[in-house]
Amino acid sequence: MTSLDTSTTATVDVAPASGTGTGTGTEAPADTGTRELLVRQVRLEADGVVSLQLADPSGKALAPWEPGAHLDLVLPSGLVRQYSLCGDPAERHHYTVAVLKEPASRGGSREIHDTGLVGRLLTVRGPRNQFRLTDAEHYLFLAGGIGVTPIVPMLAAVAALGRPYRLVYGGRTRASMAFLDRLGAIGGGTLEVLPEDEAGWPDLDAIVSSAPAGTAVYCCGPAGMIAALEGVCERHLPPGSLHVERFTAPVAPVAGELDAEPGATFEVELARTGVVLQVPPDRSLLRVVLEAVPSHLYSCEEGYCGTCEARVLDGEPDHRDTVLTDEEKDEGKMILCVGRACSPRLVLDL
């Protein structure tokens, strides 16, 4: 395993916090809403990958989180981006996220890499978790590139429970693959590092078909990797075995969701103000809502990140996203950027 040179680290001190990383001391608010956090450290983790350490400027303990959770970061430009937490959930006085510099991105990763963020305050919402670790007899983790970030704390949690796991971690080159040393130190399972320039593409069919009964499969990576894995899991595993986290829209929209017809005009009532708005066929629900609530956060506008989530108080939503579970839909959650209405009116908790 190649050790990475992580000496390129910028840090700034925050006010000392009482207690330890287990959450003792001054507790954070019970909610996981919007707050200002200080970028305490930016650290090089691999070629093109940096991690950010975020802390309360007064040293207060932060809201708790579980493996699979992510934060919404509002960057200095106003862009909103989501990044998986990849630190230790027991550490309550800072959050850690990692970001790949992607030249083909819409600007968020370049801004993080090219802007001097250490010592600056960023607006942060969360943590929120739509990639929860379920209880299983065995675990198979597949990570592609920066998709390893939510997997890191998952492995530590599974290892602490003494459950068997296998991680297959692919990337362009070994030097571009973050957290190799940290993953190797977790132990308790099987780690397979497959840089593309050394080992080629992983054989997903062979990997999945050899998984023992009762295996839960977790994958985060490029859209093409996830699409291929979905087909393999359909052939070899029971329904519900695969859990995925996307950082781009699906390769092909799911029938009845992102490719659905725009639909008819409907009304949306914002319950907190009583404002009623018309949503025509050629405009998204999100864009109409933003006219009345411009502070409502959003990001992907393609139905996969979950940032623009809102709660439906009345009416029947037409869910077209790829992020909410059936349980979350039953709880009244809705993704505004792609969702529409099956009823003449929706009432939102906004």
| pLDDT tens by residue, 77-116 | 988 899 999 999 999 999 999 999 987 766 789 999 998 9
**Mean predicted lDDT score pLDDT of the chain:** 86
Q: What is the reported pLDDT for 24?
A: 29
Look at residue 301 in the predicted model and tell me its pLDDT. Answer: 85
Mean pLDDT value across residues 174-182 = 97
Stretch 296-304: mean pLDDT: 83
Count CB-CB contacts under 10 A for residue 184.
11
pLDDT given at position 107: 78
pLDDT of residue 23: 31
Residue 3 clears pLDDT 50, i.e. is over it: no
Least confident of 108-122, 246-260, 275-289: 246-260
β 138-144/242-246 pair status: unpaired
- Using the predicted structure, report yes or no on whether residue 307 has a pLDDT greater than 90: no
Binned at pLDDT 50, 70 and 90, residue 27 comes out as: very low
Query: Which residue has better confidence, 25 or 137?
Result: 137
DSSP 40: E
Q: Does residue 20 surpass a pLDDT of 80? A: no
Q: How many CA atoms lie within 13 A of 294 on its CB side?
A: 2
Residues with Cβ < 8 Å from 118, sequence gap 6 or more?
A: 10, 11, 12, 39, 40, 41, 42
- Does residue 2 surpass a pLDDT of 50? no
**At residue 343, does pLDDT exceed 60?**
yes
Give the per-residue pLDDT at 34: 87
pLDDT band at 9 (very low <50, low <70, confident <90, very high): low
- The model carries a pTM of 0.75
Residue range 140-175, pLDDT digits in tens: 999 999 999 999 999 999 999 999 999 999 999 999
With a cut of 50, say whether residue 18 has pLDDT above it. no
284 versus 301: the higher-pLDDT residue is 284
Could you read off the pLDDT of 184-242 as tens digits, one per residue? 999 999 999 999 999 998 999 999 999 999 999 999 998 889 999 999 999 999 999 99
Give per-residue pLDDT as tens, 308-323.
999 999 999 999 988 8
Rounded CA-CA distance 70/182 in Å is 20
Q: Reply yes or no on whether the pLDDT at 49 is more than 90.
A: yes
Domains and CATH numbers, the chain: 9-13+32-127 (2.40.30.10), 138-246 (3.40.50.80), 266-348 (3.10.20.30)
Helix (H, G, I), strand (E, B) or coil at 194: strand
pLDDT at 223: 86
Helices (H), 162-295: 180-186, 196-199, 204-209, 223-236, 285-292
What was the pLDDT predicted at 207? 97
Give the amino acid at 25.
Answer: G
